[in-house]
Chains A and B, each alone.
Chain A
Amino acid sequence: MNSDLIKNLSYSMRRIRTVEETIAERYSEQQMRCPTHLSSGQEAVSAAVGTVLRPTDLAVSGHRAHAHYLAKGGNLNAMIAEIYGRVTGCARGKGGSMHLIDESIGFMGSTAIVGGTVPVGVGLAYSLMMKGTDNIACIFLGDAVIETGAFYESLNFAILKKLPVLFVCENNQYSVYSPLSVRQITSRPIHERIAGLGIDTSHGYGNDVLGVHSTVSQAVARIRSGNGPAFVEFDTYRWREHCGPNYDNDLGYRPDDMIEKWTKEDPVARFDAHTLAEGLMARADIDAQQRDIDAEVTAAFDFALNSDFPPIEEAGQHIFADKPSEDLQ
């Protein structure tokens, strides 16, 4: 096993966890004034996909996008400043937590409407196909996206045109408080139903970062070689409430034994146990990673809090562009 990969996966998951938990810790200060959907518990899929993708690959996501943005290489300072509504934010304070963007590393945007970026990602893949590179587009989506019309329409077109696009479905089993069973049939899993549409499909355990990495690496290799689109589904679990910094286990919409099981299946702790047991990383390496991350995250929050708010004149700006945008590099 490549030791850089082990370190990168470990670092990426730990960094996402630390960012999300710091947001949760400081959210009650009422300085982050936007709906915020945390990814704690779901770090493995993002970290693994992030290490497989190149900076020149393009990605889009939905409302729970922090982990995707960070794993793709998105600027941490700009993300935290965006959540704080500052002019240094990645969208100059116009978008908040649900509208992240960092085009410099190919993170082309996340939006708040479930399924809304799926066709956008397929359109990006069409542009990549036209340009004739072997870069791909990656669309992060949740299990509720499987219920939208835009998803099936987009999938059909991607398959029809053999577009270089990877659909990454994180199945965390709940849409807000609604379990999968009231929204879809559960007798046949998502990936089996999607396979019936004629797309290259894989499935894996979403809290096993190495397993996700292996599945995604193979799928991406097939896409790059001209095989057309691929759909991967990973089972995982969000720890905290749908939107906000708290745990909501007291509401009773998720069974206690389910919460307990998935909490034990913490993807970060799970991988740490594996790397320590196999001698792939030492405790000192892990501690050093955490120290670096803590320093970076502290600096990012300081950056955000020390940044200016956007001037009021910007409220009505950016409705129309005066000139064409520069093409992506």
Chain B
Amino acid sequence: MTNIVVLVKQVPDTYSERKLAETDHTLDRESADAVLDEINERAVEEALKIKEAGEGEVTVLCVGPDRATDAIRKALSMGADKAIHVSDEALHGSDILATAKVIAAAIGKVEGVDLVIAGNESSDGGAGAVPALLAELLGMPQLTYAHHVSVEGSAIKVDRETADEGITHLEANLPAVVSVTEKINEPRYPSFKGIMAAKKKPVETLTVADLGLDAGEVGLDNAWSTVSEAAPKPPRTAGEKVEDDGDGGTKIAEYLVGQKLI
């Protein structure tokens, strides 16, 4: 029986226009549709696969405002068994350190965790550091950027994908923290039966105090970094036009070499 916790996050839909709030430069959650981050769908899918291959229980863990319930329900409708939702005004603007602390404390509430699965990085903050921070805080091995995962008894094997060096094979004893990449799987779509079943699945809501943490450890005021300024991305420029006077191919190749693209 593998007891799995999957970290999920509600993020602004990448298809809608995403903005930071003008006052404190935190995410403007009202301006965009909120969805379960796609990478987390893959994390949930991987947890469900491990569960279905043997025996197990999948707990979804989400830190986010009240409306993040929708993202939690989606994970439950895919087939996860239960959820923990940490929701607290004090968490607004928390940095990755505080977030990792909160997640670690919440994982402490789940008995006998064998495996924590996260997405490698969120599509909003994009720090990509929470899984590693979490492993450190929990004292578990970290197997990040996995594009293949297999659990064999009390061991976990991961194919780790890095940009330049190809694939590294990692192995660790459980419990462990794994983060997955986009290539890991194709997540399932919830069925109607799953959607209805999700309504009846337990969701435990916890505050910062419930986790035994102090509000002074989290939130915007206690973040280690601050955003001093934010500006929209400049519009795309026209690019460079290559005139073909018989040597167009060479010119393009030279340009690409110049950009270190080939």
B is bound to A? no
Question: Which residues of A approach B to under 8 Å, CB–CB?
Answer: none
Question: Which residues of B approach A to under 8 Å, CB–CB?
Answer: none
